[in-house]
Amino acid sequence: MGLTDIYRKGERLLRGKEFGWLLDAVETGFIIEHDRRILDRYTFRPQYIDGVEPKTACRVLEVELATPVIMSAMTMPIPAITENGLMDVAEALKEAGSLMWTGTPIPKNLKKLAAVGVPVVANAKPLRDRDQMFQCLEDIQQAGVTWVGIETDAGQGTKVHDKQVASDCTPLSLKELKDIRKKVSCPLICKGVLSRRDAEKCAEAGADGMVVSNHGAHTLDYLPHALQVLEEIVEAVGGKTILIADGGFRRGSDVIKGLAFGASLIGLGRPILYGLAAEGREGVREIINQITEEMQRIMSLIGAKEPGKLTRDMLVEDP
Ligand SMILES: Cc1cc2nc3c(=O)[nH]c(=O)nc-3n(C[C@H](O)[C@H](O)[C@H](O)COP(=O)(O)O)c2cc1C
């Protein structure tokens, strides 16, 4: 099954479930269409002559991956899609040479997921009860994850339509981020950075990476897309921390654009859910594999030998 069919089938099946509304956006719903509009603003500058045979493998913070296409942070609603949903996703991502990222709630079987052999990242939320937040960070590390994520953007929890979903959160201060840094012994990634200022603060706190993300339209309405702010963030912290982008990336062409803007990895949220709903473990693996194949095809025709060689001048911006 091709990507288009997997997405269609997966979305149709999920929309029919009682939790289908989780695919939607906060309040007005502006962000999802806006993400698409921004991604569609860029076309490719081909270089057909002397085309290259590209590789998609990459090494990020000591982790070797077959592809820069990874899973974005999510737990809910994966266990409700297939019985062993999280395990299916872990195995699929391992087969594809990708990376798994869990969200809220922190999976009870996190240790087992990490034991599959796929690099696993797990997030903690900025819970109002800071003792509980630090306990979460401790539990995550005990499970043997590769990196720890902290949701710097979830200071007001999450919201879909007019319904508050995650609550009991409050924004982190720079001092608290520094305290988190001290308690996390593996690489620390701040998820949800969309401004130069926040990027500088995360770097000052000692983060190893950040996810340039509007949280899949589940936090604040009218947030920009990652492509709109990546340039200022690269300027501020490029070279100091790694950058990951997510939000609306659906095809190899989208991924190429994110990498050309300076991200090292691109996360997929909803596509993972569609793949799992449509075809189980195979569906998730196919999504990563097919997007990676699309990337390879494009890279060959725009003259990029490896993901790190994708640059902004390979894109043409619509006027
Ligand atoms: C159903 C659902 C649950 C999510 N849960 C979390 C979460 O627990 N923590 C988090 O940081 N982000 C969460 N996200 C946001 C994703 O990590 C990611 O930023 C976003 O989905 C990427 O956009 P995309 O879905 O358009 O690919 C969630 C997104 C969705 C759709």
Determine the pLDDT at residue 143: 98
Determine the pLDDT at residue 224: 98
Report how far ligand 1's centroid is from the alpha carbon of 312 (Å). Answer: 26
Q: Could you tell me the residue ranges of all domains in the chain? A: 3-160+174-310
**Atom 27 of ligand 1, nearest CA residue:** 269
100-118 tens-digit pLDDT: 999 999 999 999 999 999 9
In what helix (H) or strand (E) does residue 198 lie, and over which residues does it extend?
A: helix 196-205
Report how far ligand 1's centroid is from the alpha carbon of 213 (Å). Answer: 9
The pTM assigned to this predicted structure is: 0.98
Determine the pLDDT at residue 257: 98
Cα separation, 22 vs 212, in Å, equals 21
**Atom 9 of ligand 1, nearest CA residue:** 103
Determine the pLDDT at residue 51: 84
Cα separation, 277 vs 284, in Å, equals 9
User: Among 11, 74, 213, which residue has the most ligand 1 atoms within 8 Å of its CB, making it the best to mutate?
Assistant: 74
CB contact set of 105 (below 8 Å; sequence gap of 6+): 75, 76
DSSP structural state of residue 161? B
119-145 tens-digit pLDDT: 999 999 999 999 999 999 999 999 999
Work out which ligand 1 atom sits closest to the CA atom of 191.
11
Superfamily the domain 3-160+174-310 falls into? Aldolase class I (3.20.20.70)
**Residue 215 known to be catalytic:** yes
Report how far ligand 1's centroid is from the alpha carbon of 65 (Å). Answer: 21
Burial class (CB in 10 A: 0-12, 13-18, 19+), 118: buried
Residue list, ligand 1 pocket, CB within 6 Å? 22, 72-77, 103-104, 123, 151, 191, 213, 215-216, 218, 246-249, 267-270
Low pLDDT (below 70) residues in the chain: none
Report how far ligand 1's centroid is from the alpha carbon of 74 (Å). Answer: 5
- Active-site entry in 34, 161, 215, 218: 215
168 near 129, Cβ under 8 Å?
yes
CB contact set of 273 (below 8 Å; sequence gap of 6+): 10, 14, 23, 74, 77, 78, 81
